Amino acid sequence: MASKERAKQGLREMTRRAVRSQIAEAAMALFAKRGFEATTVDEIAAEVGISSRSVFRYFPTKEDMVVGHLDEIGDKLAAALEERPTDEAPWVALRHAMQPHLDDLIENADAMLATALMLSEAPALRGALLSKRARWTELLVPNVMRRLKGSAQVREVQARAVVSAALACLNTAVDEWARSDGTKSVEKLLDQAISAVRS
């Protein structure tokens, strides 16, 4: 009986993810065509063939259709950092932890470029973007703290500074990569940004 219930829940979750993905894809296509602010939730719902009310069951806000995937990126960054050797220096560990995200950007360049440009150009998305990036910081700080020496209070301040600077480097690199329409190497841009901060 329990295994049947688990199977049902698994199927429901798969269906939910598929619908979420379909809504997000339709939304991004409309945002790219008409602009984020000019596109309504009603138009997105019509494109998918569901009601606006149903859309809000999958995405609490229109902004989440663009930035919702950033939670997953933060989780992946934290998991990648967790896998790094504990004796690795914070900057080295963070740079390695960012590599899978860079690989995803390159592999899905068209979709990622469109999203990155939208995030940098739509004022309405800035608050949601800052909120998601603040969550990344909270996810990464504990692991970086473990790599530092000193009292817990000092290590926390240092870890927050390092993580904030490292994420600023990542954001700068991705923004510049998007502005170049993917012609510049996002990896080189990240390494240049890190070098500038650390020199």
Q: What is the mean pLDDT of residues 145-154?
A: 95
Pair (117, 177) in one structural domain: yes
On whether both 70 and 168 belong to a single domain, the answer is: yes
Among 33, 62, 91, the domain boundary falls at 62
Same-domain check for residues 89 and 14:
no
Q: CB burial class (10 A; 0-12, 13-18, 19+) of residue 175?
A: middle
Asked if residue 56 and residue 43 are part of one domain, the reply reads yes
User: Tell me, what CATH number does 45's domain have?
Assistant: 1.10.10.60
Per-residue pLDDT at 17: 83
Q: Count of domains in the chain?
A: 2
Residue numbers of the domain that contains 40: 2-62
Question: For residue 147, how many other CB atoms are within 10 A of its CB?
Answer: 22
Instruction: Indicate the residue among 46, 62, 78 that finishes a domain.
Output: 62
Give residue-wise pLDDT tens across range 109-138.
988 888 888 888 888 888 888 888 899 999
Q: What's the CATH number where 189 sits?
A: 1.10.357.10
Tell whether 58 and 70 lie within a shared domain: no
User: What predicted TM-score, i.e. pTM, was given to this entire model?
Assistant: 0.81
Percentage of the chain lying above the pLDDT 70 cut: 95
With cut-offs at 50, 70 and 90, classify the pLDDT of residue 165: very high
| CB of 52 closer than 8 Å to CB of 41 | yes
- CA distance linking residue 153 with residue 157, whole number of Å: 7
Claim to verify: residue 34 and residue 74 sit in the same structural domain: no
Cα–Cα dist 36/80, whole Å: 32
Say how far apart CA 160 and CA 175 lie, in whole Å. 22
Q: Are residues 48 and 72 in the same domain?
A: no
Whether residues 88 and 51 fall in one domain: no
Judge contact between 159 and 150, C-beta under 8 A: no
On whether both 113 and 161 belong to a single domain, the answer is: yes
Q: Are residues 21 and 100 in the same domain?
A: no
Statement to judge: residues 18 and 57 lie in one domain: yes
Q: Last residue of a domain, which of 19, 44, 62?
A: 62
The answer on 138 and 73 residing in a single domain is yes
CB neighbours (10 Å) of residue 158?
18
Tokens read off for 161 = 């500074």
Burial 185-199 (b: 16+ CB within 10 A, else e): ebbebbebbbeeeee
For residue 1, the model assigns a pLDDT of: 57
Q: Which residues contact 78 (CB under 8 A, 6 or more apart)?
A: 136, 139, 140, 143
Burial class (CB in 10 A: 0-12, 13-18, 19+), 12: exposed
CA-angle at 132, arms to 127 and 136, nearest 5°: 140
